[in-house]
A = this chain, B = another copy of it.
Amino acid sequence: MKKWKTLRSNKLIDTEFVTVKREHCKLPSGLEIDDYVVTEYPDWVNAVVMTKDQELVLVKQYRHGARDSFLEIPAGKVEGNESDEEGVIREVREETGYQSAHKPICLGDYYVNPAVQSNKVKTFLILEAEMVHNQDLDVTEDIHIEHINFQDFGQLVRKGTIQTQLLSMSGYLLASAYLSNKI
């Protein structure tokens, strides 16, 4: 389909994590929009991490966008010259201390929200993970590790017993579909 033309693009803010732009766009119909907001993030990686006992390794942390705490799968952004696989292995090790002798299995990558956001998230499944390190957190991070049985997680979320978020839930559903040969 025909793309919009960007007539002007002004950075509203530019940090290590995000760049927000106000764009003046011309649509194929000729219509112009002068305040379209595009949010640019680096690509993200996340992982459904499971122990030999089919327990999910989850991270609980405060999230300032929603002013609340969430139980999530480990996630982050790829650094420097890392591959996506190296990035996700490092993020999981830093946030949880877990690693696995098995290679991460790629479950797919998707634009997170392409209407307004530039980046993709690539999701991995890491099986038979074991805790072999201490956490190695950034100064801004305060992360509690929790274990929940893989099969129970979906029901606990659906009942409202635990609060997760869309990126974690979609990772769980991708892993669930992969493990039951649905995708």
Determine how close the nearest CB of chain B comes to the CB of A94; give it in whole angstroms. 16
- Oligomer: number of copies: 2
In the complex, what residues of B have CB within 8 A of residue A132's CB? Answer: none
A145 at the interface (CB under 8 A from B): no
Q: Is A139 within 8 A of B65, CB to CB?
A: no
Q: Contact partner of A1 among B17, B62, B108, B173, CB < 8 A?
A: B62
**Looking at chain A's contact residues, is the secondary structure mostly helix, strand, loop, or mixed?**
mixed
- The digit string for A111-122, where 1 denotes a CB below 8 A from any CB of B, is 111111110010
**Alpha-carbon distance between A28 and B140 when the two chains are bound, in angstroms:** 10
Q: Is A13 within 8 A of B37, CB to CB?
A: yes
In the complex, what residues of B have CB within 8 A of residue A2's CB? Answer: 62, 142
